[in-house]
């Protein structure tokens, strides 16, 4: 599958003929000023929680593409009220089979409300299992023992984890989380966008290497194949 990074926690996965976007926050992100939001094609938009830095461009991209927003019941309803025609409401622990694979909503330890203050349910992560690969998108979360439940149910190939600290895990906790979910390959997210979450790239890569893990820090606009 091909993965393109749009900054913060926003990634586009090309899975076969399907395009799955996570946590779109692009237009307010100065680091992502080279990205044309209206050129992004997506069939599904998965949203981990309601915070601005995960939802800002979701309505625009969903309407541009007639895409389906997959999120908690509360977030799905909020976008439905904004005129997004296709939404799929879920809640933690639930699973749905979509054209590109199976999506399970898993626990994240974090707060969640929408930009206008609307209650957004609890924050979540996603485990996506496709014909080709299985991966874990952790969303914004603290390190939690709940992550150990994931490899009891899924054989993951890689995980996307927040490493910016302050609002989420730092690299040290993300590496423990990688052990909990039993992956050796990590894509870092949720760093550098704001002063609170700036990181030293060389330092985090060294810390990951010392732990025997591969940490991928993608350039904004870059695509890789995994």
In contact, 68 and 76? CB cutoff 8 Å:
no
Binds Mn ion (CB under 5 A): choice among 43, 53, 74, 192: 53
Residue 147 vs residues 64, 153, 155, 217, 218: alpha-carbon distances, Å:
35, 11, 13, 22, 24
Between 65 and 168, CB nearer to Ni ion: 168
C-beta separation of 168 from 142 below 8 A: yes
Among 74, 140, 170, 192, binds Mn ion (CB under 5 A): 140
Say how far apart CA 200 and CA 182 lie, in whole Å: 25
Which of Ni ion, Mn ion, none is residue 19 near (CB under 5 to 8 Å by kind)?
none
**Minimal distance in Å, beta carbon 110 to Mn ion?**
8
Within 13 Å and on the Cβ side, how many CA atoms surround 85? 6
From the list 19, 51, 56, 213, which residue makes contact with Ni ion (rule: CB under 5 A)? 51
Alpha helices in the chain (DSSP H): 52-55, 58-65, 73-81, 171-181, 201-210
Applying CB under 5 A, the span of 126-134, 138-146, 155-163, 197-205 interacting with Ni ion comes to 138-146
170 interacts with, out of Mn ion, Ni ion, none, CB within 5 to 8 A per kind: none
- Residue whose C-beta lies closest to Ni ion: 51
Report the alpha-carbon distance of residue 11 to residue 141 in Å, rounded. Answer: 17
Decide: is 192 part of the binding site for Mn ion (CB under 5 A).
no
What is the contact surface with Ni ion in residues (CB under 5 A)? Answer: 51, 140
What is the contact surface with Mn ion in residues (CB under 5 A)? Answer: 51, 53, 140
């Amino acid at each position: 599958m091909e993965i393109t990074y749009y900054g913060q926690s926003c990634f586009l996965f090309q899975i076969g003929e399907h395009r799955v976007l996570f946590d779109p926050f692009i237009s307010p992100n100065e680091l992502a000023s080279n990205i044309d939001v209206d050129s992004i094609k997506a069939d599904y938009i998965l949203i981990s929680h309601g915070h601005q830095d995960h939802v800002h461009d979701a309505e625009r991209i969903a309407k541009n593409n007639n895409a389906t927003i997959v999120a908690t019941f509360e977030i799905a309803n909020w976008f439905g009220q904004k005129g997004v025609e296709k939404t799929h409401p879920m809640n933690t622990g639930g699973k749905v089979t979509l054209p590109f694979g199976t999506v399970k909503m898993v626990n994240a330890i974090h707060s969640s409300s929408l930009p206008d203050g609307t209650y957004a349910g609890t924050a979540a992560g996603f485990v996506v299992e496709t014909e080709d690969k299985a991966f874990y998108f952790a969303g914004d979360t603290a390190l939690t023992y709940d992550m150990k439940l994931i490899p009891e149910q899924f054989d993951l190939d890689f995980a996307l984890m927040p490493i910016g600290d302050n609002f989420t895990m730092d690299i040290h906790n993300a590496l423990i989380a990688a052990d909990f979910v039993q992956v050796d390959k990590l894509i870092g997210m949720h760093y550098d966008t704001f002063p609170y979450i700036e990181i030293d790239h060389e330092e985090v890569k060294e810390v990951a290497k010392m732990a025997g893990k591969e940490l991928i820090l993608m350039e904004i606009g870059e695509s890789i194949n995994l």
